[in-house]
Amino acid sequence: MPLYAMRHGRTNFNDQGLCNDDPGRDVHLTDTGIAQIEAAAEELRDKPLQRIITSELPRTRQSADIVNRHHQVPVSAHPDLNDIRSGFDGRPVADYFAAIGADPLHTRPPGGESLLEHKQRIARFVDWLRQQPERSILLVVHEETLRALSALLNDLDDQQMTQLHFANAQIVEFDW
């Protein structure tokens, strides 16, 4: 069975160029983000989803709820799917990338985690997911999470992982 993963739709913080890894912050889909997810929902409409799992960040749940209008399956959040802890919550994405630029795999900003630490967290989630009874699942996640998932499930090395980019509402299908 396939495993589907999708990045959330465009948010107010995407528009402002700000980082967000705090589930308590009001980061939500914009009108553009809603339209992106509605288009993705149409692509997923006939997929035999049994379950949707999101991160704890509201933008992923908001995206999942739009997709789930066609499926009416259980939706749950898992903390291991949360976006990378940047240490830059509410601050410019450009500042975050400047801080990790010399070594994006290993640099851990104060209060954050490195990309390799994030990948380890996603690997723990994948191990947990393999224990679940449902086989046709949609994950609604973040770009860094999609990078880590792609590296883990497609046997990519860490350098290849850093080169991956995913658009808002992009759907990725893995052979599960």
Burial annotation 13-48 (CB, 10 A radius, 16+ → b, else e): bbeeebbbbebeeebebbeebbebbeebbeebeebe
Annotated binding residue at 59?
A: yes
Annotated binding residue at 108?
A: no
d(CA 16, CA 32): 14
Annotated binding residue at 147?
A: no
Annotated binding residue at 12?
A: yes
Q: Would you tell me how many other CB atoms lie within 10 Å of the CB of residue 90?
A: 14
Annotated binding residue at 70?
A: no
d(CA 15, CA 163): 22
Annotated binding residue at 11?
A: yes
72: left (phi over 0), alpha (psi -120 to 50) or beta: left
- Residue entry with tokens 């490195």: 114
State the binding site.
Answer: 7-14, 59
State the binding site for substrate.
Answer: 7-14, 59
